Amino acid sequence: MSAYDDDNIFAKIMRGEIPCVKVYEDDKVFAFMDIMPRSDGHTLVIPKAKARNLLDISPDDLADLMTAVQKIAKAAMAGMGADGITLQQFSEAAGGQEVFHIHFHVVPRWSDVRMRPPASAMADVEDLKKHAEKINTAL
């Protein structure tokens, strides 16, 4: 497994070098809207700790991350009026990982709505801001 790369896109987003639509931040985690959402309200939750994926994150940092994932999932479900949540996490290229900073996808789901295909379309930033506000309000 390769070493953590400080120049990955999520590290740059956390440092403010690349813009994002932020949903939540504390001293341990950062959550922001996915720019190619699979559903309305699709949020990415990442630790501030430097870890490539599930295979190298420390147990303590993983516990902090999962606590935040649950918090965001509950808020996304309530704020977006969803019927359920899909969580996704990919580790290493063979596992589907494309950005090598551990992250969880929190994807609100509705019973009668299919998820969009991965990386199918860029979202309108104003729509992302509205979704982030709904989730943030539910926090």
Cβ neighbour number for residue 35 with a 10 Å cutoff: 16
Whole-angstrom distance, CA of residue 105 vs CA of residue 69: 9
Mapping DSSP onto H, E and C, the string for 70-131 reads HHHHHHHHHHHCCCEEEEECCCCHHHCCCCCCCCEEEEEEECCECCCCCCCCCCCHHHHHHH
| Contact indicator for 34, 106 with CB cutoff of 8 Å | no
- Is 131 a catalytic site residue? no
Spot the catalytic one: 42, 101, 103, 131: 103
Report the catalytic residues: 103
